[in-house]
Amino acid sequence: MTINDASNPSLADALEALDKASLSQIQKRDTRSAVVTFCKALGLSPADVPANMAYARRKLEGMSYTALGFTKGRWSNIKTGVARAIGLVGKTYPSRNTAPLLPEWQDLLDAIPKSLIRKLSAGARFLSNRGVTPGTVSLADLLAYRDTILNDRLRANAEQAWDHFLWAWNRAAERMPDTWPQIEIARTAKREVYVFPFAFFPESFEADVTAYADRLRNIDLDEDGPVRPARPATIKTRIYQLRAAASALAHSDVDPATIVSIATLVGVDNFKATLHFFMQRAGGKTSANVAQMASCLRNAARHFVKVDDAHDKQLARLCRRVAVQGGGLTAKNRDRLRPFDDPEVAQDFLCLPDTIRQQVERDKRAPAQKAVDAQLAAAIALVQAIPIRIANLAAIDLNRHMKPQRRDVHLVISEAETKNRQPIDFNIPPYALDIVRWYIRDYRPFLMSEPTDALFPGRGGQPKSAHTLGVQIKKIVFKFTGLAFNVHLFRHFAGKVFLDQQPGSYEIVRQVLGHKRIDTTTSFYSGAEVQRASTVFNQLVDDLRGRHSPSPAQRQRRRT
């Protein structure tokens, strides 16, 4: 919708003001070009884009200049031009404030560690420019700085910059009580923390949860224990769920002092109260989290507390009441996979490792500075060719998992190391193996702080953590494609792309993804074929219409 409110100018208003601005002709030309390019990237006209720094910053943060085909320098010029245009009709604050520091602020900054100076110096310059000294500064002045960098500055990650300033300010006030202004900036909680620590409950409750965790481990192979010991990640989740259930009861007016064991949690009334608490948090309805909590508590009741059959049946009925339909891709994942309905987008994505490699080889920086990008090219090549989970990808060991066989190399991961205990044994295709060998030969040595067999080395000779590798892959995918794509989506991408080319071939997808049961595969990816199915259906209908539609003369005879 076109913006016509004079109090909320658009970039069209900025372009009109540009003609009358006291700028050189070159500056006017570059500013106009920057605005037009920015609006084109948004798919909007200048009249539909607010001349607002906060709006422009958020939009620019969601774009990848590499994916749009710009160089870093050109993109910097575009941002400068957009900021200049907005400044003609609205409020702006420079991304780099060069205002001199007042001597009083300079003396304080000189007395604190450099790590704090980097976070505080921009705020000190803002205050100095306003004539605010350490002796006169107030909380309102600090909040004015917050509002300025959030609303009037184009520099990226404004929320993070304020968070760093807030933390550093409070730390400086704590370390220098006699010299630093004693104003505490309250930190707004980013999420509600409702789960209490074990210390909030009687000691017997934590002891009971620990005993249940030991049962799940079943290290001694007791007949009473599970047939197969639970994985450490599963045990950690169960401990958290039981603590969350106890916290839910505490928030539901149950005296924490009475929560002495798991048996307290699985009483029918408490079971209901716990599920009701989590349903309220989910907007008054059930959710996957509610269903998982119900399942966790019922399993503990059956196998650890050993409730009687009548009690178990009541819990089972409650579990059915909160059950959710399982399987299938989430709406968010379907949206993120939708761009790959375009074959060209899918092809470009499959060529991403080669694109990153070419960029690395053209880059004039030292090899050590390019090593992480080379590592990510190898990681993406592997996970595209062999869509394994991120934990297995990050933990690949050159000797234990990569097995040469004549000219080939197989990736072999035992069932003990996979999530669903399905072994992995895949031949690494030549195109992926070429990039992996290039990375190992030219760049991996720069990432090793000490000898290690990890394909993707981290600190202390250990493999890089799955979280870190996943975040780095997500960032580089966005950089080169502009797509919001987390690392687990590689598995969904593999299923979608294959089924687009071979509709109905679920068994192959099952084996590639390592699913135990075919219904797991069909529940996830039958929906991924809807687009392909609708295309085939429409083509069939169009073909039938073309073959059977009457000619104009026939239609005329029918009417007469």
Range of the domain at 236: 198-322
Q: Which residue has the tokens 């080395």?
A: 457
Is the per-residue pLDDT at 213 higher than 80? yes
Is the per-residue pLDDT at 537 higher than 80? no
Segment (H or E) for 61 = helix 53-61
Strands ordered across the beta sheet of 408-413: 402-405, 408-413, 424-427
Distance CA 113, CA 149 (A): 24
Residues 362 and 471 in one domain: yes
- Strands 402-405 and 408-413, sheet pairing: antiparallel
Instruction: Please state, as a whole number, how many other Cβ atoms lie within 10 Å of the Cβ of residue 103.
Output: 10
pLDDT in tens, 431-465: 999 999 999 999 999 999 899 999 999 988 899 99
First to last CA, the chain: 49
Query: Is residue 439 in a domain?
Result: yes
H helices of 443-529, in order, are 466-481, 489-501, 506-513, 518-525
Beta carbons of 359 and 370 less than 8 angstroms apart: no
Residues 336 and 469 in one domain: yes
Is the per-residue pLDDT at 399 higher than 70? yes
Closest CA to 187 of 148, 154, 159: 159
Query: Is residue 327 in a domain?
Result: no
Residues 390 and 504 in one domain: yes
The per-residue pLDDT for 496 is 78
The per-residue pLDDT for 1 is 36
Segment (H or E) for 406 = none
**Which residues, 6+ apart, have CB-to-CB distance to 525 below 8 Å?**
329, 492, 495, 496, 499, 506, 509
The per-residue pLDDT for 444 is 95
Residues 109 and 78 in one domain: no
Residues 259 and 360 in one domain: no
Final residue of a domain: which of 322, 346, 362?
322
The per-residue pLDDT for 245 is 96
pLDDT in tens, 318-328: 999 998 876 56
CATH number at residue 409: 1.10.443.10
Is the per-residue pLDDT at 420 higher than 80? no
How many structural domains does the chain have? 4
Q: What is the mean pLDDT of residues 495-518?
A: 72
Residues 260 and 397 in one domain: no
Query: Is residue 547 in a domain?
Result: no
What single-letter DSSP state applies at residue 185?
P
Residues 74 and 158 in one domain: no
- pLDDT band, residue 3 (cuts 50/70/90): very low
Instruction: Please state, as a whole number, how many other Cβ atoms lie within 10 Å of the Cβ of residue 147.
Output: 11
**Which residues, 6+ apart, have CB-to-CB distance to 414 below 8 Å?**
423
Residues 272 and 137 in one domain: no
Residues 408 and 470 in one domain: yes
Is 132 exposed, middle or buried (CB count within 10 Å of its CB: 0-12, 13-18, 19+)? buried
- pLDDT band, residue 534 (cuts 50/70/90): low
| Listed range (39-53, 149-163, 472-486, 510-524) with the worst mean pLDDT | 510-524
Residues 164 and 232 in one domain: no
What single-letter DSSP state applies at residue 193?
-
Query: Is residue 407 in a domain?
Result: yes
Is the per-residue pLDDT at 120 higher than 80? yes
| Listed range (167-176, 507-516, 521-530) with the worst mean pLDDT | 521-530
**Which residues, 6+ apart, have CB-to-CB distance to 444 below 8 Å?**
371, 375, 455, 457
Query: Is residue 95 in a domain?
Result: no
The per-residue pLDDT for 551 is 57
Left if phi > 0, otherwise alpha if psi is -120 to 50, otherwise beta: which for 253?
Answer: left
The per-residue pLDDT for 528 is 55
Beta carbons of 139 and 185 less than 8 angstroms apart: yes
The overall average pLDDT reported for the chain is 87
Q: What is the mean pLDDT of residues 97-102?
A: 89
pLDDT in tens, 327-356: 566 778 888 888 888 888 889 999 999 999
Beta carbons of 488 and 388 less than 8 angstroms apart: no
Residues 336 and 313 in one domain: no
For residue 23 the two structure tokens come to 């700028």
**Which residues, 6+ apart, have CB-to-CB distance to 294 below 8 Å?**
271, 275, 315, 318, 319, 322, 323
Q: Per-residue DSSP letters for 2-35?
A: ----TTS-BHHHHHHHHTTSS--HHHHHHHHHHH
Query: Is residue 65 in a domain?
Result: yes
Residues 317 and 356 in one domain: no
Query: Is residue 558 in a domain?
Result: no
Distance CA 378, CA 364 (A): 20
Query: Is residue 150 in a domain?
Result: yes
Is the per-residue pLDDT at 234 higher than 60? yes
Final residue of a domain: which of 296, 322, 348?
322
Final residue of a domain: which of 259, 290, 322?
322
Amino acid at 119: K
- pLDDT band, residue 7 (cuts 50/70/90): low
The per-residue pLDDT for 411 is 92
